[in-house]
């Protein structure tokens, strides 16, 4: 039997690329898998193919990713693009599909760097055509160079400001930015301000963004409530209350955002331990400082382990890779620790701003636990009220909820309703989020064809690194 890869990295964002590069640097055989057509993850998406217009709009932070991607190209890392990982086995086997053909490889250690997804933002009308996430609008800029002509941004958090400013500089200033955070949130957050000053550069950047939005004359509303998206089939209007008045703004593009949360589909599917993080209002896998999970074959790096942003992700990737190459005996523990020490230190100062951001831009209660008639499961069109009714009938957890009314059983496999279902059930049944738990996730992690699945039937020799 041939040797498998030493390290398989899933996800080619800042965390995954730097993990792959670091492991490669120490002489490990590395295979890096990503669903996108090119490296960069969500933040540096499509960076290697960017046009000059896009680069101007997206700013220097975006270009930083370009260097990483070039380093990757020069390295010995086996980089497979356009592959969807749909099964990760306890033994380190990874099954994926590329263009409808399935393959399986095996790693001695697996680094999961699959990043974040945007937090579900259920509010009335959020399923209508023309409502999309702020991140989606940004992806359209990065990968297609197109912008919504009359966007209204709704929600809270740094990405809301970033995209608003990017739309301004792309010549498509949004019609309004409707923010849900309140003065009280901001005041409460100030107690985190002193530690956050270590991250003053990021704070300053945020203030610059807000100034640029204001300069462009884009109206901002804060502490907005009762937000609803209207339109027959397509979005034509957004309504909300702010400053003691009701407002209505015409738009065909309602862009939603309430921060990002770790994508836990893979980590759940392997049965790794997860905990609920009350500050970030989401679950994340339990890891040690090196990103090692509750199963020694798997590490998690980047936003998938807990939201920290791109710089933190890149540092975590390196740290996880050091630990991984040490685990499989390529470098001794001593070297791993000496090398990791400065990275760990740098990471903690990068993380200093987090508690402030988490407190200043919390998801509002009616996004976490929406009103009864709001759809929360987009696929099966289950409402928040349905979940409350299930709870009153004795439903205690998300997996049981499926048997009551199919939430989480559509093609997105619970990605956009899982957290909300947990939040509502925790509240209705007076249990902790950890006690309520989350959907049980099993492969296939993404829908795959019978043909792809059937191709596993005859076991193939695991592919080798050489």
Partner 1 sequence: MFKLMEGEDVQDSVTFLFENQPVSATPGMSVAAALLAADVSIFRQTPVSQSARGPFCMMGACYDCLVFVDGMNVQACMTKVRDGMKVSRVPIINKDIET
Partner 2 sequence: MNPKSNSITTETIIIGGGLHGLSTALHLAMRGMTVVVLEKDRVGRHASSANAGGVRRLGRALPEVPLSVASADIWQNMTDLVDDDCGFVSSFQVKLADTQTHMDQLRERAKQVRAIGFEHEEIIDQQTLRDLVPAVSKDCIGALAVTGDGYANPFQTVRAFYTKCIELGVVIHQGSGVENISRVADDWSVRTAHHTITARNIVNCSGAWGGKIAAMLGDHLPIDARAPMLMITEKMPHFMDGVAGAQGIPLSFKQFPNGTVLIGGGNVGNAYLETNKTDLDYQGLALSAATARRYFPIMENAKIVRCWAGIEGFMPDNIPVIGKGRQDNVFHSFGYSAHGYQMAPICGKILSELIIDQGATLPIDAFDPARFRKNSRENGSESIAEFAS
Ligand X SMILES: Cc1cc2nc3c(=O)[nH]c(=O)nc-3n(C[C@H](O)[C@H](O)[C@H](O)COP(=O)(O)OP(=O)(O)OC[C@H]3O[C@@H](n4cnc5c(N)ncnc54)[C@H](O)[C@@H]3O)c2cc1C
The residues binding partner 2 (CB under 8 A) are 87, 95, 100, 396, 400, 403-404, 409-411, 413, 442-444, 447-451, 453-457, 459
Part in contact with ligand X (CB under 6 A); list of ranges 147-155, 302-310, 353-361, 390-398: 302-310
Q: Does 422 bind partner 1 (CB under 8 A)?
A: no
Binding mask 267-286 for ligand X (x = CB under 6 A): --------------------
Q: Does 167 bind ligand X (CB under 6 A)?
A: no
Of 170, 154, 212, nearest to 58 by C-alpha is 170
Structure tokens, 246: 């009701």
Least distance to ligand X, CB of residue 102, Å: 13
Of 319, 381, 373, nearest to 350 by C-alpha is 319
Whether residue 438 contacts residue 422, with contact meaning beta carbons closer than 8 Å, is answered with: yes
The DSSP line for 24-35 is: HHTT--EEEE-S
Part in contact with partner 1 (CB under 8 A); list of ranges 325-333, 337-345, 405-413, 434-442: 405-413
What is the C-alpha to C-alpha distance for residues 449 and 304, in angstroms, rounded to an integer?
Answer: 27
The DSSP line for 203-248 is: HHHHHHHHHHHHHTT--EE-S-EEEEEE-SSB--EEEEEETTEEEE
What is the C-alpha to C-alpha distance for residues 167 and 46, in angstroms, rounded to an integer?
Answer: 18
Binds ligand X by CB under 6 A, chosen from 9, 28, 32, 43: 43
3-class DSSP assignment, residue 351: helix
Of 169 and 182, the one with the shorter C-beta distance to partner 1 is 169
Of 345, 314, 361, 353, nearest to 199 by C-alpha is 353
The entry of partner 2, ligand X, partner 1, none that residue 33 binds, CB within 5 to 8 Å by partner kind: ligand X
Q: Does 303 bind ligand X (CB under 6 A)?
A: yes
Of 1 and 393, the one with the shorter C-beta distance to partner 2 is 393
Number of CB atoms found within 10 A of residue 157's CB: 23
Structure tokens, 249: 């703004």
What is the C-alpha to C-alpha distance for residues 242 and 178, in angstroms, rounded to an integer?
Answer: 9
Q: Does 278 bind partner 1 (CB under 8 A)?
A: no
Residues within window 338-397 making contact with partner 1, judged by CB under 8 A: 378-381
3-class DSSP assignment, residue 142: helix
Q: Does 131 bind ligand X (CB under 6 A)?
A: no
Q: Does 215 bind partner 1 (CB under 8 A)?
A: no
Q: What is the CA radius of gyration of the chain?
A: 22
Binds partner 1 by CB under 8 A, chosen from 145, 195, 355, 385: 145
Tokens 């009616």, located at residue = 366
Of 179 and 350, the one with the shorter C-beta distance to ligand X is 350
Residues binding partner 1 (CB under 8 A): 35, 37, 42, 46, 49, 51-54, 56-57, 84, 100, 117-118, 127-133, 135-137, 139-141, 143-150, 169-172, 233-234, 252-253, 263, 378-381, 410-412, 415-416, 446-447
Residues binding ligand X (CB under 6 A): 10-16, 33-36, 41-43, 83-85, 113-118, 135, 138, 159, 162, 260, 302-304, 309-310, 313, 445
């Amino acid at each position: 039997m041939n040797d498998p890869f030493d390290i398989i990295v899933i996800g080619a964002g800042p965390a995954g690329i730097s993990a792959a590069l670091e492991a490669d640097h120490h002489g490990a055989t590395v295979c890096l898998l990503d669903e996108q057509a090119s490296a960069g993850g969500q933040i540096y998406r499509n960076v290697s193919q960017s046009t000059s217009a896009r680069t101007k709009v997206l700013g220097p932070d975006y270009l930083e990713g370009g260097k990483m991607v070039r380093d990757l190209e020069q390295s010995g890392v086996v980089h497979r693009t356009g592959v969807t990982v749909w099964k990760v086995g306890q033994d380190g086997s990874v099954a994926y599909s590329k263009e409808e053909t399935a393959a399986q490889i095996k790693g001695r250690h697996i680094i999961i760097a699959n990043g974040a997804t945007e937090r579900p933002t259920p509010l009335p009308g959020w399923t209508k055509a023309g409502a999309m996430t702020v991140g989606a609008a940004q992806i359209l800029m990065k990968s297609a160079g197109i912008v919504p002509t009359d966007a209204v941004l709704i929600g809270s958090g740094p990405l809301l400001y970033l995209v608003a400013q990017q739309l301004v500089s792309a010549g498509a200033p949004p019609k309004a930015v409707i923010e849900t955070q309140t003065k009280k949130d901001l005041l409460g957050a100030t107690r985190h301000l002193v530690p956050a000053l270590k991250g003053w550069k990021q704070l300053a950047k945020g203030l610059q963004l807000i100034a640029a939005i204001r300069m462009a004359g884009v109206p901002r509303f804060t502490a907005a409530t009762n937000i609803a998206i209207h339109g027959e089939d397509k979005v034509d209007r957004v309504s909300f209350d702010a400053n003691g008045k009701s407002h209505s703004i015409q738009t065909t593009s309602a862009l939603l955002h309430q921060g990002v949360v770790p994508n836990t589909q893979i980590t759940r599917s392997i049965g790794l331990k997860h905990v609920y993080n009350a500050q970030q209002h989401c679950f994340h896998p339990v890891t040690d400082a090196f990103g090692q999970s509750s199963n020694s074959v798997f590490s998690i790096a980047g936003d998938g382990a807990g939201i920290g942003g791109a710089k933190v992700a890149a540092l975590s990737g390196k740290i996880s890779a050091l630990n991984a190459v040490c685990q499989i005996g390529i470098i001794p523990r001593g070297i791993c620790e000496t090398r990791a020490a400065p990275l760990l230190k740098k990471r903690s100062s990068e993380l200093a701003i987090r508690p402030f951001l988490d407190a200043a831009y919390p998801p509002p209660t009616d996004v976490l636990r929406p009103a009864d008639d709001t759809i929360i499961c987009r696929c099966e069109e289950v409402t928040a009220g349905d979940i409350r009714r299930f709870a009153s009938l004795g439903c205690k957890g998300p997996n049981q909820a499926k048997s009551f009314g199919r939430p989480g059983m559509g093609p997105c496999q619970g990605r956009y309703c899982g957290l909300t279902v947990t939040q509502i059930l925790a509240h209705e049944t007076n249990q902790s989020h950890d006690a309520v738990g989350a959907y049980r996730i099993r492969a296939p992690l993404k829908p795959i064809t019978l043909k792809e699945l059937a191709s596993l039937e005859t076991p193939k020799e695991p592919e080798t690194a050489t």
